[in-house]
């Protein structure tokens, strides 16, 4: 048995003893495995589990998802963030329905052709559902491999990813690629954790170069590339009897396809600037303010959003703010950002 085979054997043994009981591990249905992988791309299992159950209950198969309205898909996704995942999932379901007769392909390159599916997702679905011999490389796997082989190249560079992918492929148990890939991911999630892993009792500590060299806390290496910018959002919540106004975000920006109150982006959110911005935009100072929230801070991967909500006793100047009128009682039917959801939680509307 080679050194790589031994590592794979130890990981599989550990996995079969310690794996979590998760619904997508109780099926070989590629559709359900695919849904779970997309949900978990930017979401931890404890948060994603309930979303998975709701999603599968409403869309149990490819056809039901393909025929759904995008607004309903986004509403079910509400709170998970990274909404392009939901839009891509919906688009890919239509691809599967139109190009593959409603069936999930058992070919790696065809899986890879689906909207929103990259090499990791294609390898995960292909190996778990169809036993295709492709190694996954997500954040958990990258951390395990970086430590096992003391890889000093940053994991978020082209060179670093190539090194890690090659090592992942060499480690892959091609007889049981699905179990191997799940073992690698689970080991990174539960055992070889980002901070303070218990290396002294790790079943792989005698084969881990980072442990031997006392480098565990410094690996994996990441290049700091993200530069966040701050934006100031001012939401105008018009209270006009039983009605209010909302609009759909259609620009190529964050939260595309979600709904929101009419939005302004002032230079800052102090009280004077808020009122001056509203008066300048609406062309009137005759607005009764019912409520002005304190600033909300909402952090995204590349942006920090500082936002305030102002409730105004007035009708919305539609020609100015490009919004449509709805009944206030219907507002929860629309998919909104987590930021707007927080406003509803603090001040039911």
Catalytic residues: 37
- What kind and span of H or E run contains 305? strand 303-313
Please give the span between the terminal C-alpha atoms of the chain, in angstroms, as a whole number. Answer: 65
Query: How many whole angstroms from its chain centre is CA 162?
Result: 24
- Among 243, 263, 246, 241, which residue's Cα sits nearest to residue 254? 263
Distance CA 194, CA 150 (A): 15
Query: How many whole angstroms from its chain centre is CA 28?
Result: 23
Residues 6+ apart with CB under 8 A from 284: 317
The answer to whether 316 touches 238, Cβ cutoff 8 Å, is yes
- Among 263, 270, 237, which residue's Cα sits nearest to residue 347? 237
Residues 6+ apart with CB under 8 A from 216: 147, 197, 199, 208, 210
Q: 291: helix, coil or strand?
A: strand
Q: Each residue of 96-114: b (16+ CB within 10 Å) or e? A: bbeebeeebbeebebbbeb
Task: Provide the phi-psi class of 41: left if phi over 0, else alpha when psi is between -120 and 50, else beta.
Answer: alpha
Distance CA 12, CA 34 (A): 22
Q: 273: helix, coil or strand?
A: helix
Both tokens of 90, joined, read 């919906």
Distance CA 335, CA 83 (A): 10
């Amino acid at each position: 048995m080679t050194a790589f085979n031994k590592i794979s054997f130890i990981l599989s043994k550990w996995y079969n003893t310690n794996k979590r009981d998760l619904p997508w591990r109780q099926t070989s249905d590629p559709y359900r495995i695919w849904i779970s992988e997309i949900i978990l791309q930017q979401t931890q299992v404890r948060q994603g589990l309930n979303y998975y159950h709701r999603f599968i209950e409403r869309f149990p198969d490819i056809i039901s998802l393909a025929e759904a309205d995008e607004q309903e898909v986004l509403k079910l996704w509400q709170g998970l963030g990274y909404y392009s995942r939901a839009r891509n999932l919906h688009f890919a379901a239509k691809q599967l329905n139109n190009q593959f007769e409603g069936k999930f392909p058992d070919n790696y390159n065809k899986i890879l052709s689906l909207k929103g599916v990259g090499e990791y997702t294609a390898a995960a679905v292909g190996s778990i559902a169809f036993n295709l011999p492709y190694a996954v490389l997500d954040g958990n796997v990258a951390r395990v491999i970086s430590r096992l082989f003391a890889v000093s190249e940053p994991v978020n560079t082209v060179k670093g990813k190539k090194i890690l992918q090659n090592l992942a492929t060499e480690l892959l148990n091609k007889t049981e690629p699905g179990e191997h890939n799940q073992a690698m991911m689970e080991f990174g999630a539960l055992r070889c954790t980002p901070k303070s892993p218990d290396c002294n009792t790790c079943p792989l500590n005698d084969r881990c170069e980072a442990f031997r060299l006392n480098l565990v806390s410094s690996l994996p290496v990441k290049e700091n590339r993200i530069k966040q910018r701050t934006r100031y959002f001012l939401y105008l919540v018009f209270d006009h009897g039983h009605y209010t106004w909302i609009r759909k975000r259609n620009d190529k920006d964050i939260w595309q396809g979600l709904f929101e109150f009419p939005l302004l982006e002032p230079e800052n959110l102090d009280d004077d600037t808020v009122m001056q911005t509203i008066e300048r935009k609406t062309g009137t100072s005759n607005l009764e303010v019912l409520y002005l929230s304190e600033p909300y801070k909402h952090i995204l991967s590349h942006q920090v959003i500082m936002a305030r909500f102002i409730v105004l006793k007035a009708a919305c100047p539609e020609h100015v703010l490009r919004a449509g009128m709805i009944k206030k009682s219907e507002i929860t039917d629309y998919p909104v950002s987590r930021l707007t959801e927080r406003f509803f939680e603090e001040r039911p509307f």
